[in-house]
Chains A and B, each alone.
Chain A
């Protein structure tokens, strides 16, 4: 099984893109190590901006750079960017319509045992509620590379959440990516699993396990959380049962987005899997996934339970 850290796929691709486009800037907040921007800083110092530990300032500075025609990619931990600088994202980036890409790493529970202070499990809810900013969760390194080709051309603000550790590949080499168009990775008639980010892989694993139980599951990679692919959700509902899986609080994330579309368009039985509204269990991200049933076996088990009802 090939694995790769999405943040490393991102920074390697950004460096290559920036070598050919001097308007591409990387901005960071004492996070060049954790984002893996060390090579960028060394090779393109004129396109690199260090802000120190000041995320609010980093977003404002990036908006100012964008006003001057530059294409800043502001990079740092998702927990701090999504919450501490949420107002700067809302006003300086989205409302002012500045071409800033917020590249949020170590999202979800990928900081593991560092605990809730460092987890970003509210970011989808926050960013989806801000008009004028796109929201993405790449599933693996290949998809991140495909997204980056879009980001370096697009003039729209975006928030992109990545994890920290290496994740198994979902896509071989080139991932198909069209902004706002979900990827259907597997067709099945009994149930649809809709996931984003790292959970896409776990849903594919669950679908394999379900075959042994005689259950055919569709798996949909909802890589774009805003604007979300309504048509793909309505199509998934034809199975009669939709289960969403996300590394995010169960309130306001992928599940809520899917539920609101189903409720309005075609009420369908559904179930939202994610992190519950409680003090989150401590451990490495794999431990947290295991505890809350957010891995292949946990998701498969839940599907069988729901189907029995």
Chain B
């Protein structure tokens, strides 16, 4: 799939996320929309994974360490056929596995994540297993920027470099916001690239909404005995005009009018699964 097609798919998925959160009256919309282009590039282009490969030992692994951004992830999985799109209607409903954080009872989800600071450790284990077992799969872990205040992230960062896991990617959704406000006001992260570099990672910064740039990054990555860190500059709540770059939209629910405006701006008439 080329960059234009992926960007278009990502726009449809934004409409899905916005609609799903409105219908469920719950969800973490800000981070779901900031990370949607990243997840789309991974699933549409980069990763060796499809619904027939769920038990394939050589499938690429994806972990949503910032598990609260599950809405975007679920929409991508449904769109890729891991489960029927109609099931998105059940999001956050009683008895559903489609809950507010990734649950590995849902086809395609490897691990239950969302307690922040856990994902990269699990990713280190997956990547280390690939090395020890001579498997070629790669592991991609998507982290939030607010999440990086968890000390366990840095335990895992140390281990990833120690074991020279060049089959491991830490991707950071650098939207600059967390629930209480600007990350630099809550707990300063900068200079973030220098921190990861100092921990022994190969660091690259990219526009997390530039599909082509992210595709180029992943296709040009080489194994250099170091794990990879991709800092994606993103806009929180990207695609919902009322909420872009506003901390209040970490987990605010859009009303009917805001959904209508957003879908119009995205050029989507209506979602196909309601």
**Which A residues are within 8 Å of any B CB, using their own CB?**
46-47, 49, 51-52, 54, 56-57, 59-70, 72, 87-88, 90-92, 95-98
Contacts and interface: CB of A to CB of B under 8 A. Distances in A.
B52 interface: no
A46 B124 contact: no
B57 A68 contact: yes
A43 B120 CA distance: 29
A62 B115 CA distance: 17
A80 to B, nearest CB: 13
Given A64-B123, A92-B118, A57 B152 contact: yes
B122 A60 contact: yes
A65 B130 CA distance: 9
A72 B126 CA distance: 12
B132 interface: yes
B1 interface: no
Contacts of B158: 52, 54
B159 A56 contact: no
B26 interface: no
Contact of A57 (B57, B113, B121, B130): B121
B125 interface: yes
B156 interface: yes
Given A64-B121, A65-B129, A68-B125, A57 B156 contact: yes
A38 B177 CA distance: 46
Contacts of B206: none
Contacts of A88: 118, 121, 152
A60 B123 CA distance: 8
Contacts of A60: 118-122, 124-125, 152, 156
B112 A64 contact: no
B37 to A, nearest CB: 26
Contacts of A96: 104, 111-112
15 contacts: A51-B159, A56-B121, A56-B152, A57-B156, A63-B122, A64-B125, A65-B125, A68-B125, A68-B129, A68-B130, A68-B135, A70-B129, A88-B118, A96-B111, A96-B112
Contacts of A46: 132
Contacts of B121: 56-57, 59-61, 63-64, 88, 92
* B: contact size bracket: 20 to 34
B61 interface: yes
B104 A63 contact: no
Nearest to A90: B115
A67 B115 contact: no
Given A92-B118, A92-B122, 17 more contacts: A47-B132, A56-B121, A56-B155, A57-B124, A60-B125, A63-B121, A64-B123, A64-B124, A67-B122, A67-B126, A67-B129, A68-B57, A68-B129, A70-B129, A91-B115, A95-B112, A96-B111
Given A60-B125, A65-B125, A70-B129, A92 B111 contact: yes
Contacts of B110: 67
Interface in B117-148: 117-130, 132-133, 135, 139
A67 B127 CA distance: 11
Tell me the interface secondary structure of chain B in the complex: helix
Contacts of A97: 104
Interface string B85-124: 0000000000000000000100000111111011111111
B126 A64 contact: yes
Nearest to A49: B128
Contacts of A47: 132
Contacts of A87: 115, 118
B158 to A, nearest CB: 7
Interface in B210-242: none
A54 to B, nearest CB: 4
Contacts of A67: 61, 110-111, 122, 125-126, 129
B159 A65 contact: no
A54 B121 CA distance: 10
B92 to A, nearest CB: 18
Q: Which of A64, A87, A97 has the most CB of B within 10 A?
A: A64
Q: 4 shortest A-B CB distances, which residue pairs? A: A64-B125, A60-B121, A68-B129, A57-B155
B57 A69 contact: yes
Contacts of A91: 112-115, 118
A245 to B, nearest CB: 35
B122 A61 contact: yes
Nearest to B101: A91
Q: Which of B57, B111, B130 has the most CB of A within 10 A?
A: B111
A68 B134 CA distance: 12
Q: Which of A46, A51, A98 has the most CB of B within 10 A?
A: A51
A275 B133 CA distance: 45
Q: Which of B118, B122, B127, B128 has the most CB of A within 10 A?
A: B122
B132 A52 contact: no
